[in-house]
Structure 1
Amino acid sequence: MSPLHPALARFLAAVRAAGRPPFQDLTPAEARAAYAAGRPLLQSPPEDVADVRDITIPGPGGPLTLRIYRGGGCDDAGPQPCLLFLHGGGWVIGDLDSHDGLCRRLANAARCRVVAVDYRLAPEHPFPAALDDAAAALRWLACEAGTIGIDPARLAIGGDSAGGNLAAVLALMGRDGTLPATAFQLLFYPVLDATMASASYARVTEGVPLTAATMRYFADHYLPAGLDRTDWRVSPLRAASLAGTPPAFVLTVAQDPLADEGRDYAARLEAEGVRVTALHVSDQIHGMLMMGQVLPVGAPVARFAAAVLRDCWDSPGGV
């Protein structure tokens, strides 16, 4: 195992000394409360954006809330590029507020609109509820692009962790024609193989907030008993082909049970003819982009990802 960043090592030592229980020892309600309580201690103050507002659209399970950001430098006079963002949290925790800071940073750095989705959470709403909500949001954005100032030819999808899982699946569905096609996929330490068979699951078992046991806790709440976990709708790494999906940015971190599947996904994308920028950070943990008070490096990593996305939108033939 590669060594941790010194600031991160000190933080994790403090967490252990405080005796904070892992998520898998909590009920979903307790896990959500603990995740929300940690946000002020971990995240940097949110950046100002040009505009932010919540709207409600029809969803497959009832009204679905979207939060629309307009980043600084994003012109409001004509159709603008847009990132549909799906938050992480193991499909069990997280919401619009937990990822508000990251969405603001991406909107500003990519000079675009970001639309975040408040999809339904497990275990109250197991698979495929989150995926159905994400798909409904993408369909709505593509249909209503003109009325909300979005260029449908420059519509990207992205997310972190479980949200990265949903984004990768939407990219495949867009490739296959069951959803509108998208221009880019922005995947931050995504969940890509629900079989949990990679070597990093055996490697990352203690000492960090997201261990193999934590991931199993989340997946067991999200995936109904008896579901085939090789189904590409929960394990996009298991899809027969990734060819024809949009260009990608894939962030992986070494101290993460998801590290190997993310690196394998990036390698498959490249081998199957998809343009991909893969960034692997060896001294970081899952969730690094949400830990600005502890890890200042998260902000430049997010800005780099946004720059790759913006370059795709701006390059002739990029989309």
Structure 2
Amino acid sequence: MASRTRCDQVPYEVYKENKEAYSFPTAKVAGPRPEVASNIIYRVPVSHPAGEVDVQVYVPTSEAISSGGLASSEGRLPALINFHGGGFVIGDLNSDKPLVRQLCQGAGCVVVNADYRTAPEFPHPTPVLDSWDVLKWVFAKADELNIDASRIAHGTIPPFPPLKLQILIVPLVDVRYIPVEGSCKEGPYESYVSNEFAPMLPLSRLVWFYNYWLGTGPDRIEKAEDFRASPLLAKSHENLAPSSIRAAEVDPLVSEAKAYHEKLLVAGTQSKIKIYKGQGHTFPQWDGLNPGSKEFVQDCINDLKEAFKL
């Protein structure tokens, strides 16, 4: 596949004018997009600042529901709420389309895919607060969406009992040590150094993301130390939903994923971590060709079935 200029190698304004030209052609390596029973887009109100975001609700087919065996006696289904990646700068409802369709059909659960607002137009903390509003919306609309509110999982950090599971996919959990420019010269995370030039997510790409998301001004440190940006810094990690951390070996973020796993265990929160050998940061989207990515998708399906079982 021919090389191309990445989004982080040009100013955001240039990227925004022609996003496709600076984006990896994920569709060429992505896995199947199975048919679902429905995938309706809702406009959901958000608060910080006031506005609306798109939320796409995927419902599995009757065959998938029967095969999954997760429907309650009233016919209610468990739900996964998905928040796409992209450094809080890029990404949309299409980013995880193959994955969310496979999880919906593979586990036989509802998947709620959220298109939170992103930087630089909406820097921290808007993306996480949008996600929080979506999470609350799902609970409020559970009856209307035929969701069993006692069986909801999510793919992000903020706690909202009674969540059954958090699947953290190549997560960032401590953003204090990414510099405004250059290499990482301090901090506890070895992978920032050993994986500085990792394919798909070199350190320079993290710098680009964080500079738009957190800014480069005098309040950068304060924003980075906010637990909503760095969940590792939360005052308590007790009583959170059980965590399944899915990390990539060739990724600057793998060291902090390990640190977060240990933090959860010390706090008494259930956590497991799997580091996929030889894989880079974006490998979850490559399951059309990559055996490790296919394994990841099946692992997530197994996670959901185990968390949602009656």
Match of 2:306 in 1: 311
Paired residue secondary structure (2:90): coil
Aligned 1:100-119 pairs, distance under 5 A: 100-119=97-116
Pairing partner for 1:154 from 151, 154, 158: 151
**TM-score (normalised: structure 1):** 0.83
Q: Which amino acid aligns with 2:77?
A: Q
Check the 8 A contact 1:87/1:117 in 2, yes or no: yes
Match of 2:291 in 1: 296
Q: Which amino acid aligns with 2:176?
A: T
Change (3 A) 1:211 1:293: same
Pairing partner for 2:172 from 188, 191, 200: 191
Q: Which amino acid aligns with 1:38?
A: P
Check the 8 A contact 2:4/2:22 in 1, yes or no: no
Say whether residues 1:273 and 2:268 are aligned partners. yes
- Give me the whole-angstrom Cα distance separating, in 1, the residues matched to 2:168 and 2:200: 20
- Structure with more helix by fraction: 1
Aligned 1:198-237 pairs, distance under 5 A: 198-224=189-215, 225=217, 226-227=219-220, 228=222, 229-237=224-232
- Give me the whole-angstrom Cα distance separating, in 2, the residues matched to 1:140 and 1:262: 28
- Give me the whole-angstrom Cα distance separating, in 1, the residues matched to 2:65 and 2:11: 41
Change (3 A) 1:62 1:220: same
Structure 1 moving runs of 4+ over 4 Å: none
Cα deviation, residue 293, structure 1: 3.4
Superposed CA offset, 1:140-196 (max 9, x none): 1111111110111111111xxxxxxxx11x12xx2xxxxx54221111110111113
In the alignment, structure 1 segments of 5+ residues that lack a partner are 1-13, 159-166, 175-179
- Give me the whole-angstrom Cα distance separating, in 2, the residues matched to 1:37 and 1:21: 9
Superposed CA offset, 1:42-75 (max 9, x none): 2124122222111112222322211001124236
Say whether residues 1:23 and 2:7 are aligned partners. yes
Check the 8 A contact 2:169/2:245 in 1, yes or no: yes
Name the stretch that deviates more: 115-124 or 60-69: 60-69
Check the 8 A contact 1:35/1:93 in 2, yes or no: no
Match of 2:55 in 1: 66
**TM-score (normalised: structure 2):** 0.85
Match of 1:255 in 2: 250
% of aligned pairs identical? Answer: 27
In the alignment, structure 2 segments of 5+ residues that lack a partner are 178-186
Q: Which amino acid aligns with 1:222?
A: W
Cα deviation, residue 297, structure 1: 2.7
Check the 8 A contact 1:22/1:209 in 2, yes or no: no
- Give me the whole-angstrom Cα distance separating, in 1, the residues matched to 2:81 and 2:260: 21
Cα deviation, residue 296, structure 1: 3.3
